[in-house]
Amino acid sequence: MRLLAPACAALALLAAPAAAAETSSAGEAGRIDGVRVWTLPDTPNGLHPSQSWHATGSAPNGDLYVAGMDHRTNAALYRLAAGTDRLRLVGDARSASEAARNWEPGETAEKFHTRPLWFGGKVYVATMDRSGLDDGYLSRRGFHWYAYDPAADRFGDLSAAEPGGTGLPHGGLVALAADPASNAVYGAVVPTAEIVRYDVARGTTENLGRPAGYDRPYVYAGRFMFVDSRGRLHVSAGHPGGAAGAPGAGAGRDASPYSHLHAYEPGRGMTALPDLALAQPRALETGRCFPERRACVAADDEGHVYRFSEEGPAWTFLGPVARDRPGARLWMFQVTADGRRAYAATTSYDPGAGPAALYEVDLATGASTRLCSLADLDPRLGRRTVHTGSDAWDDRGRFAFASFAADGSGDVLLTRVDPVRLKAALAAR
């Protein structure tokens, strides 16, 4: 049951918010100095977070955000405020949509797969209710936009004011990027790899389509995309032999549409960028941009690292990050504020392969140095096989990432690492 909202969506967050719950956790010190670990708390309406897909981010003031989900029914957003050790639930999809009378009987929100995006004083996430690259998404309701206002401590369903109560009739979002010049948020759609644009002032979503070269109906959309200072959105998608659970182009198919980036530019539409070539035709998964330097660093799930500079523009392949086991994926990649280093950990679906390792990557030389096992940070991390997180840094130079079991059993752990203190502790040992 839903009630059509006649008001402007820009007011929906304040008019019909979901009350923030007080569920929180103080976390625990890790095994080694500079590390602290939290278990994502359950929500009052019964969600037990068991997964967290690419859903860790931060705000300019150093607040950290992480989303937790059960991949079946609901997803929630948590905040670790700068200068504190208190991880707190700020809202969940179902509660926010029920408060806005925009939750239908039997509806689910499997994930907030999007990295929490800070933009214009709020944190944006969106739902993805089905991951499969097939037509099964047509049986589900489309995605909802949500925003958290930290000043008002309110988490609300922005899509309640849109026609039909969703951004699109069907499909979910897997990545977000902001365009300050046009006051808009872009989203990448699963399973079609279309791009949508949410006009923040008007509270409306527009489907912009996708690059014409994509040669199949369902495409693995990149989990990281970015907007340059000229307002061009850069995207990647659909790689042969793709990430776990994502079918590739297949035998006999042309991989060239996925061997480089594409751009969407307002007024011009989609454009192929063959000069921004990829070492392999693989979608970008993680990254960080530096607007003041007009540059970005990005990586795919096999650890191929790239640097983008608007001067030129230039797109440079920096080399691969070392992986601790064959077939492992790289979904945790944290680039430092100076852009000189990154910290990375791999994911393996083989629970018998042992704990993943934490690496420091020199982005000038491409060299990777193994710092320690993740189990050295906290023994519980040794029992988690999936590690995700990108561009999640607080105001003290500490990064955060999420860890969970690939089969969805158990809890989600959020780990915050001070790399300076950690390296000093490791050296002392």
What is the mean pLDDT of each successive set of 10 residues along the chain, which is 429 residues long? 37 41 84 98 97 97 98 97 97 98 97 98 97 94 98 98 97 98 97 98 98 93 97 86 42 79 96 96 96 96 95 93 83 97 90 84 93 96 94 98 92 98 96
Q: Does 404 fall in a domain?
A: no
Residue 2's pLDDT is: 36
**Contact by Cβ (8 Å): 84, 25:** no
Q: Please indicate, yes or no, if residue 413 is contained in any of the structural domains.
A: no
Per-residue confidence (pLDDT) for residue 332, from 0 to 100: 97
User: Does any domain span residue 405?
Assistant: no
Q: What are phi and psi of 328, to 5 degrees?
A: -70, 150
Number of other residues whose CB lies within 10 A of the CB of residue 282: 26
Residue 344 covered by a domain: no
Cα separations (Å) of 148 from 14, 230, 300? 10, 27, 29
For the chain, the C-alpha Rg in angstroms (whole number) is: 20
- Helix, strand, coil proportions of the chain in percent (round to 5)? 15, 40, 45
Does 202 map to a domain? yes
The CATH number given to whatever domain includes residue 166 is 2.120.10.30
Handedness of CA 347, 350, 355, 361 (dihedral sign): negative
Q: Tell me how far apart the alpha carbons of residues 387 and 374 are, in angstroms, rounded to a whole number.
A: 10
Q: For position 133, what pLDDT does the model report?
A: 93
Total domains in the chain come to 1
Confidence at residue 253, expressed as pLDDT on a 0 to 100 scale: 65
- Within a domain: residue 244? yes
List all residues 6 or more positions away from 387 whose beta carbon is below 8 Å from its beta carbon: 331, 332, 345, 346, 347, 356, 374, 381, 401, 402, 403
Nearest Cα residue to 108 out of 157, 72, 159 = 72
Please report where in the chains the tokens 């705000």 appear, as a residue.
Answer: 59
| 310 touches 228 (CB < 8 A) | yes
Residue type, 184: A
pLDDT for the residue 239: 57
Say which amino acid occupies 305.
Answer: V
Place of tokens 């990154």: 342
Note whether residue 362 is domain-resident. Answer: no
Host domain of residue 54: 12-31+47-330
